Structure 1
Amino acid sequence: MAIVVTFGSSGVSERHLMSRQLSVDCDLTSQHTIAEEMVKAIGHHFLHDERDRKYYADSYSCRPPPLFIITITFIELAFFIYYTIVLGVTSSGPIPIDSLFIYRPDKRDQIWRFVFYLVLHAGWIHLIFNLLVQLLVGLPLEMVHGSARIGTVYMAGVLAGSLGTSVFDSDVYLVGASGGVYALLAAHLANVLLNYNHMESGILRLFAVFVIASTDVGIAIYDRYYHESEGPVSYVAHLTGALAGLTIGLLVLKNFEQKLHEQLMWWIALGVYGACILFAILYNVFN
């Protein structure tokens, strides 16, 4: 005698729902694990202290998300697309010298130009370099240290770039976000140097930053002295932006819980940066 066992529709439906729920849980677990690994990797590469790495990995929630670098990148890209349509921008120009945003020595009374020049770029090579560094270096730094700190470092570099150019290379025009980009690079580089023994692949990181920065500055110097354009473009912003990164960014990006002597050094660095900015402002006012 054969025994036939049948399952009702309710049993099949229940097993189907359980199977779907298990599949969803596995997908969420997989996504959660990937996100955790990404956060751990960022903390591992951009923090030197193991306690800071663990604290960051345990507490990071992407709330709020790293919006500063993403926003500034989209703004720069939008302006480039606009001027590409209007002027037909190539790999190295033309430079929109009549723009309301470009820094010009004969328009120094229009003080917004000392900051908003960052939205313009001298060709797509200039743009691509800045955007890549912003996203590959600036975005992870913002995830680790927050938008306020990274925004401060970046804008300090932008302002230092224009003011430094107005003092040391006062006859040239200025476009691009290189001041802010080099502030981020210099701040991260200083962090690597100070904590070299705790960083994995420290020499590789130093070499990579050196090659990237040297190549970009070399191109800027070539464009400054050997490339005919509608107006001379400065490379001083790269250097003064980097100096801003070394002062403002050095201790801002160092760790989460600063000790007393580190806080004192932070105020000293802030004082040095403030004194340089004040000198440059007074120079422009009285000249």
Structure 2
Amino acid sequence: MLDFPITSFFIAVTVIISYMAFSNETLSNKLIMNPYRVAKRKEYYRFISSGFIHNGYVHLIFNMITFFFFARWIESYFAYKHGLLVGGIYMVALYLAGIVVSDIPTYFQYKNLPHYNSLGASGGVAAVLFATILYEPLNPIYIYGVIKIPGFIIGAVYVIYSYFYSKGSEDNINHSAHLYGALFGFFFAVAVEPVALVDFFEKIAAWKFTF
């Protein structure tokens, strides 16, 4: 993991802060996304800090495993295409801005509700996932180690699942952030490399299902 310093750094910091917040309600309340407090007390830092705490070990592990597998690729891609410095800036901006942007719709929707909270790195993870999918939509993911599914299909299922799950969920996990983070990551990647959008559709058009 040390070959991917930015990916490793974000995973380490997220795991440490999340673990600390699991047993420290005061810390969790200080970091969690509460749109009302952001609006009334100008606690804008919550747009970022809420991405470093999670609703239990399952939530944390799921996000960090997903992030690990896709962030390594996109970090290497940015470094190869744009150099270590610029590539590193793109990587940090993609992840952190994904967390922030994915919380903006939530902020406007719930800023007058004092008791609404949300947390998790889902927006940043989704941004990384969909930036990777834009550049390499056919990169396979193996279901049960046998069924090979291209990334663009997994990404579509990921967003659809998150959208419908967000409708009835009351677990403080900002499931709608998956959708907004995904959209941000996709268009961020397009802005960095516009020609990749053409390649994206050409690769999908040429795709054929194989085991």
Cα contact 2:33–2:119 (8 A) shared by 1: yes
| 1:238 maps onto 2:182 in alignment | no
Given candidates 153, 178, 182, the residue that maps to 2:126 is 182
Equivalent residue, structure 2, for 1:74: 12
Q: Distance in 1 between matches of 2:157 and 2:7?
A: 23
Q: Distance in 2 between matches of 1:130 and 1:111?
A: 23
Q: Distance in 1 between matches of 2:149 and 2:31?
A: 39
Cα contact 2:21–2:27 (8 A) shared by 1: no
**SS of corresponding position for 2:30:** coil
Listed one character per residue, the Cα deviations across residues 220-249 of structure 1 (whole Å, up to 9, x for unaligned) are: 44423xxxx5xx553332222112112212
TM-score, L = length of structure 1: 0.53
| 1:83 maps onto 2:21 in alignment | yes
**Alpha-carbon deviation of 1:76?**
1.1
Q: Distance in 2 between matches of 1:124 and 1:218?
A: 23
Equivalent residue, structure 2, for 1:59: none
**SS of corresponding position for 2:150:** helix
Equivalent residue, structure 2, for 1:208: 154
| 1:107 maps onto 2:37 in alignment | yes
CA 1:68–1:106: 2 relative to 1, 3 Å: same
Cα contact 2:159–2:179 (8 A) shared by 1: no
Where in structure 2 are there 5+ consecutive unaligned residues? 80-87, 142-147, 197-211
CA 1:169–1:189: 2 relative to 1, 3 Å: farther
Q: Distance in 1 between matches of 2:135 and 2:173?
A: 30
Q: Which is greater in Rg? A: 1
Q: Which amino acid aligns with 2:63?
A: N
Range moving further from structure 2, 115-124 or 213-222: 213-222
Question: More relative contact order in 1 or in 2 (CA 8 Å, sep 6+)?
Answer: 2
Number of residue pairs matched by the alignment:
177
| 1:167 maps onto 2:108 in alignment | yes
Q: Distance in 2 between matches of 1:153 and 1:203?
A: 25
Q: Which amino acid aligns with 1:184?
A: V
TM-score, L = length of structure 2: 0.69
| 1:148 maps onto 2:89 in alignment | yes
**SS of corresponding position for 1:121:** coil
**Alpha-carbon deviation of 1:69?**
1.4
Listed one character per residue, the Cα deviations across residues 92-139 of structure 1 (whole Å, up to 9, x for unaligned) are: xxxx78521111122111111111111111122211111011100011
Q: Distance in 2 between matches of 1:97 and 1:106?
A: 18
Listed one character per residue, the Cα deviations across residues 158-196 of structure 1 (whole Å, up to 9, x for unaligned) are: 110222211244443221111101111122223345xx6
CA 1:251–1:173: 2 relative to 1, 3 Å: same
CA 1:100–1:206: 2 relative to 1, 3 Å: same
CA 1:129–1:183: 2 relative to 1, 3 Å: same
